[in-house]
Amino acid sequence: MIFLLVGSTGVGLLLLAFALNLLKIVTENSKLYLLMNFIGAGMAAMYAFNGNIIPFVILELVWAGTALIKLLLIIKKGSQVAT
């Protein structure tokens, strides 16, 4: 039951991020958008792993990984001081 809640919350976060982007409330480079994708995909991956649905585990882990990489790049770029 807990995994169903985790998976549903994760998918909900992914859909919310998608909707906010379509409505131009957040952009693809927004920290909030990327964080929602990272957390949502991670939660969906946990649910898929619990159900032994390996193709979706791979999909969600790649989704979460790419969102995390982009988020870290944006954070790093923002912390650089102009010389």
pLDDT above 90 (res 82): no
Banded model confidence at residue 81, pLDDT cuts 50, 70, 90: low
Condensed to tens digits (0 to 9), the pLDDT of residues 71-80 reads 999 999 987 7
> Which two tokens mark 45?
């991956």
Q: Which of 43, 30, 40 is nearest to 70 (CA)?
A: 30
Q: Are 67 and 44 in contact (CB under 8 A)?
A: no
Distance between CA atoms of residues 2 and 30, nearest Å: 30
